[in-house]
Amino acid sequence: MNIIDFKARAEELLPEGANYDACLACGLCASGCPASGFDGMDPRRFIRMAMLGMNEELSTTPWVWTCTQCQRCAQVCPMNIDVSVLVGVARSAWPKDKKPKGIVRSCEAQMRFEGTSAMGLQTEDFVEIIEETAEEIREDSVQFKSLQAPMNKKGAHFFVNQNSREPATEPEELGPLWKIFDYVGADWTYASKGWAAENFCMFTGDDDSWEKMVKQRVDAVNELGCDVWLNTECGHSFYTLWKGVERFNLQANFEPDSLVTYYAKWIREGKLPVNSDWNRQGLKFTLQDPCQLVRKSIGDPAADDLRYVTRKLVGDENFIDMQPCRSANYCCGGGGGFLQAGMNEQRRAYGKRKFDQIQTTEADYVLTPCHNCHSQIEDIGGHFGGNYRVVHLWTLICLSLGILGENERKYLGPDLAKIGLAGDNE
């Protein structure tokens, strides 16, 4: 194990106005951290040990793989101290063969092919899947008989990234997203290079791989001359690119933006005329603010957009916020590579706080515009006996517009599965 001088590294990495020595030992960070107590560690203790020079302990504690780097501790710290930065440094100290294998494998898969898919899906297979899926949509629906999923379209306005989970395991979930683009007349494209959204290299603590991955994607967008790198419903991919461009001083000739921002914009402009008429049963919905998108990247404007979209979709009276929420929200426990790390017991113990938050809302559905949140919240729901379902925004948008195909309803329960289909006469 490479032993790191944490105090020296902390001083190098200080954000403006922060001073690690100024830690008040107030414990605010620890009280709001769902990873507090695992392996006898918490963020307050981590900082104190760093200041005391306990470098060997910090370079070897497995706790760093249970911290999701969600930055909730930094958000509440009166001294602007960010423990997650030091956790990243500690992860880098681990020899590769001792790091959680799932995270390392995902990063290696991304580095192997030009598409940068963490699931190892190669571009030729991706192209075949999207062509087949688009063809099925054209055949099934007169309204979308001209629908396209373009590849390598030079000068398209949006360069759209795609979490590999859909093409690799549930291609029918691609349809709602493309239908929304078609509906608003978006000028968009996928690309052979750098099409995948996910980025686990950052979570390995290996900055060189993170930089290489981001550079590959930035080059791909620059090459096609697109104006906006549009991040779909995936939290960490936004942060890894947005933060990576700044951290590695890369030349990005485009703006990174989130699909959530565009959903809200298109609804405000009347291009997506959604309403909540479909919610005849008054089903209740709550919302998970992805830390990577809200607290760590765009901030509360993204939380505002999420609520605007959700309220329009489900009806004001049917939306119940978790407490705390927005930038103060708790991580669900799927972040930082935790879902891939194989530490299921700790991951679920971390997620218990999220589960309790959700149960308190008594919501029937949780909306999660992030794949990691989606998987984790489903998993803890099953594990702790919750009776909620987890759904993407694109599903509800298409349901509301009456354009959700029969095979695009995987995440809807029996209460919604038939809405808008033939025979739904209520």
Closer residue to ligand SF4, CB minimum distance, 9 or 153: 9
For ligand SF4, which residue of 212, 236, 392, 409 counts as binding (CB under 6 A)? 236
280-299 residues near ligand SF4, rule: CB under 6 A:
290-292
Instruction: Identify whether 324 is preceded by a cis peptide bond (ω within 30 of 0).
Output: yes
12-51 residues near ligand SF4, rule: CB under 6 A:
23-29, 33, 35, 43-44, 47
Point out which residues pair with 228 in neighbouring strands: 158, 255
Point out which residues pair with 391 in neighbouring strands: 367
380-409 residues near ligand SF4, rule: CB under 6 A:
none
Nearest residue to ligand SF4 by CB is 335
Phi, psi of 121 (to 5 degrees): -75, 120
Give the helix/strand (H/E) hosting 189.
Answer: strand 188-189
135-174 residues near ligand SF4, rule: CB under 6 A:
none
Number of residues counted as binding ligand SF4 (CB under 6 A): 39
Helix, strand, or coil (residue 53): coil
In the shown chain, the binding pattern of residues 176 to 195 toward ligand SF4, with x for contact by CB under 6 A and - for none, equals: --------------------
- Smallest separation, CB 72 to ligand SF4 (Å): 4
From 109-117, 156-164, 305-313, 330-338, give the range in contact with ligand SF4 by CB under 6 A: 330-338
Cα radius of gyration (the chain): 21
From 68-76, 139-147, 166-174, 358-366, give the range in contact with ligand SF4 by CB under 6 A: 68-76
- Locate all alpha helices (DSSP H) within 269-422, ordered by sequence: 300-314, 344-361, 371-384, 393-401
For ligand SF4, which residue of 334, 337, 351, 386 counts as binding (CB under 6 A)? 334
Spatial separation of the C-alpha atoms in residues 325 and 322, rounded to whole Å: 6
- Smallest separation, CB 273 to ligand SF4 (Å): 29
Spatial separation of the C-alpha atoms in residues 412 and 423, rounded to whole Å: 17
Per-residue tokens: 162: 């795609």
Spatial separation of the C-alpha atoms in residues 107 and 92, rounded to whole Å: 14
- Smallest separation, CB 378 to ligand SF4 (Å): 12
Told to check if 62 binds ligand SF4 by CB under 6 A, we report no
347-386 residues near ligand SF4, rule: CB under 6 A:
370, 372-373, 376
Give the helix/strand (H/E) hosting 116.
Answer: none
Q: Are 104 and 202 in contact (CB under 8 A)?
A: no
Closer residue to ligand SF4, CB minimum distance, 217 or 374: 374
Q: Cβ contacts of residue 109 below 8 Å, gap of 6+?
A: 117, 118, 119, 120
Question: What residue ranges bind ligand SF4 (CB under 6 A)?
Answer: 23-29, 33, 35, 43-44, 47, 67-73, 77-79, 81, 83-84, 87, 235-236, 290-292, 331-332, 334-335, 370, 372-373, 376
